Amino acid sequence: MTDAGRLARAQDAEADQARVNALLTMSYAELRAVLTGDPATAALWVESAARHGLPDAQLRLGRILLERGDHAGALAWFQRAAGQGNAEAMNMVGRAHELGWGIEIDPSAAAAWYRRAAEGGCAWGEYNLANLRFDGRGVALDLAGAVAGYRCASATGHARAMNLLGRCLEEGWGCEPNPDEAAQWYRRSAEAGYFRAQINHARVLAEHGLHQEADRWFEKAATAQAEPQPV
């Protein structure tokens, strides 16, 4: 390495350490300003914090790399954060196994990671594990278990889980049919902004003759579908 290269590396290391030192003394408002400002600048701060072992930053860096299409790099950071007990990172490792992000598709491994995430309190882990149980992928087909998982995630306000819990209750999948409770969950999910629930809620309203209100929710769903949905 040339002298110029060594100097550049030393300067990068010094700047990296300075960012970490600053992170440790920042107020919440200052930290939020740094991490939600210019994306390129925010990424530098996140990467510094991730390299120095902060699991939340490792999770954030993994998400940044995932958005950039670097699936293998994203998985590596998710695994590091998961190794420190971060439940959301465990869910993302499961997602990688389910969808083949930087690794071979393995529904059984995905289920194991989702279970760990759910046990750690991650609603997305509970929801994703319920989906595998509902389809019998990576785990035994278990509709009743899926309903239990959707109900658990719904209790935390998880919009997609609320919608699927409503669908199970409406159709009697893994539980006794209960149209009234189904309607309640559709409404709660719709109010949380999930477009599929808005469609279901509007359909139920129309079936009860409340056409004007139904039209309003159909319009909301049409607008929501144009917006990107979370992974």
Dist CA 82 CA 38 (whole Å)? 27
Dist CA 172 CA 178 (whole Å)? 7
Query: Right CATH number for 157-231 from 3.30.420.10, 1.10.3720.10, 3.40.30.10, 1.25.40.10?
Result: 1.25.40.10
Confidence (pLDDT) at 50: 84
Dist CA 152 CA 148 (whole Å)? 6
Confidence (pLDDT) at 2: 73
Give the Cβ contact number of residue 8 at 10 Å: 12
Dist CA 203 CA 186 (whole Å)? 10
How many residues are given for the chain?
231
Task: Report, as an integer, the average pLDDT of 26-42.
Answer: 66
Confidence (pLDDT) at 230: 46
| Torsion angle of the four alpha carbons 167, 168, 173, 179, in this order, in degrees rounded to the nearest 10 | -80
Q: Residue 203 corresponds to which tokens in the numbers above?
A: 């359909």
In this predicted structure, the answer to whether residue 13 has a pLDDT above a threshold of 70 is no
Tell me if 146 sits within 8 A of 167, measured CB to CB: no
Share the mean pLDDT of the chain. 88
Residue pLDDT, tens place only, 37-71: 666 767 777 888 888 788 888 999 899 999 999 99
Dist CA 36 CA 28 (whole Å)? 12
Confidence (pLDDT) at 38: 65
What secondary structure, in 3-state letters, does the chain show?
A: CCHHHHHHHHHHHHHHHHHHHHHHHCCHHHHHHHHCCCHHHHHHHHHHHHHCCCHHHHHHHHHHHHHCCCHHHHHHHHHHHHHCCCHHHHHHHHHHHHHCCCCCCCHHHHHHHHHHHHHCCCHHHHHHHHHHHHHCCCCCCCHHHHHHHHHHHHCCCCHHHHHHHHHHHHHCCCCCCCHHHHHHHHHHHHHCCCHHHHHHHHHHHHHCCCHHHHHHHHHHHHHHCCCCCCC
Confidence (pLDDT) at 36: 63
In this predicted structure, the answer to whether residue 151 has a pLDDT above a threshold of 80 is yes
Q: Residue 104 corresponds to which tokens in the numbers above?
A: 């071979």
The pair phi, psi for residue 100, each rounded to 5°, is 75, 35
pTM metric for this prediction: 0.83
Residue pLDDT, tens place only, 188-230: 999 999 999 999 999 999 999 999 999 999 999 998 865 444 4
